[in-house]
Amino acid sequence: MLLTFKHSKHQRHLAQLPKIPQTVTDIKILYSPEDFYYALIQAIAVAKQRIYLVALYLEQDQGGQRILEAVYNAKRNDSSLDIAILVDWHRAQRNRIGAAFSYTNADWYCHMAQANPGVEVPVYGVPVNTREILGVLHLKGFIIDTKVIYSGANLNNVYLHQQDKYRYDRYRIIHNRLLADTLLTYIKQHILTAPAVNRLDNIARPKSLKIKNDTRLFRQTLREADYFYQGEAGPNELAITPLVGLGKQSLLNKTIHHLFCSTRDTLTLCTPYFNLPALLVRDLINILRLGRQVEIIVGNKIANDFYIPEDQPFKIIGLLPYLYEINLRRFFCRLQQYVDNGQLVLRLWKDNGNSYHLKGVWVDKEWQLLTGNNLNPRAWRLDLENALLIHDPTLALNLQHEKELNRIRTHTQILRHFTELENIVDYPFKVRKLIRRLRRIRIDLLISRIL
């Protein structure tokens, strides 16, 4: 009786969420980063009202250049377009981790503004915290007219598959004016009005130290901000609930917890960095104890975007894929009995030198969570995250979702035993040495909380 009550509590939380009606014909799943790139370029080219691009970063490379040039061309062709690009303030003003300091993305935005006089394409830097390591802008969703193009992808070569490698993610094109308006209202009311948010395409932009107090106040307001809309969908129709949150107690985090615990039969989870918050680990264990089926699809360490091949110079950031694999091995070992009885399926994704960036949750074919949230302690506590929770009680999208999952599984290997994953003794010498040194002073625990 107690278990039934708890399960009803989780189902009740999901049922009480306001939901935006969605027609089946107005939602489309894309299955490759190349398709995502062409869809985004096409949508920008035919925009009639507005273009708002939100990402962690828009990078100065071939892919990023094509996107930014497309936005400038759209504005040049129609000066009435409402346009803004939002990226993380700190990420835009540094180079890639481990690279020497040089020309940054922010410098490039300034150059593009100067090269296109009279064509206004503002690029805003959003400082979610006073330092990048303590929180970044991790909102997802490109709003173009009445469309929301939703993906966990950022904007550069690998996410857009511009050259010989790609970074695999999830992609949706959703035609829904109320959903687009809801996401845009949040941006305009809670982000663009903040004194901490400044133009990056302005060479006279303030230093981070100067806006430090504004940034702290901004972070506090973000903890309390939410999407506001009239959810009119009934319990038996296809619908979408947009969720946003910052901090451990956010509605987004609570909903992910309730979504896990509402599982009646099956749960599928995708994450690129296996470092689940303790609450979600407990949820998964409880689900397994209740006899449910759980499938976890995670990237092989070689498919991690921080992985550094052994024939290249080692940098400390290259330690992360090994730390994630250690977490996965420990989790796997703990739950080996559920693998043995078939309840738990663990899949490792690897496709040559390409990388894996998928996030999301499928529950009982009825619920699907689209998100950029990595389902790790950093996303749980530090970053500004959002998600779209799709309720599909009549399984109207089931064929599309099954096709997507089958595509994701294509390059995966099912693990039968935790010993199939490498142990520390199997790692390269520099990696072994550094892990053991960090463990002695317990810094590995701190790293797991912030990366």
Q: Where would I find the H helices in 122-277?
A: 157-160, 177-186, 212-224, 251-261
Q: What is the DSSP string of 15-76?
A: HHS--EE--GGGEEEE-SHHHHHHHHHHHHHT-SSEEEEE-S-B-SSHHHHHHHHHHHHHHH
What the block records as the tokens of 27 is 């939602």
**SS3 label, residue 9:** helix
Locate the DSSP E strands across 100-250.
Answer: 123-126, 137-138, 142-144, 147-151, 167-168, 171-175, 198-199, 239-245
How far, in Å, are 31, 170, 192, 445 from residue 188 at the CA level?
31, 26, 5, 37
**SS3 label, residue 241:** strand
CB 322 within 8 A of CB 431: yes
What the block records as the tokens of 346 is 């663990």
- Residues 388, 368: Cα–Cα separation, whole Å: 8
**Residues forming the active site:** 138, 169, 357, 385
What the block records as the tokens of 197 is 């948010």
Residue written as tokens 């599984």?
A: 409
Burial class (CB within 10 angstroms; exposed 0-12, middle 13-18, buried 19+) of 20: buried
What the block records as the tokens of 384 is 């500004």
- The count of C-alpha atoms lying within 13 angstroms of the C-alpha of 385, restricted to the half-sphere facing its C-beta, is 32
- Residues 203, 301: Cα–Cα separation, whole Å: 39
Residues 6+ apart with CB under 8 A from 312: none
CB 39 within 8 A of CB 174: no
How far, in Å, are 29, 105, 140, 256, 396 from residue 259 at the CA level?
22, 38, 20, 5, 20
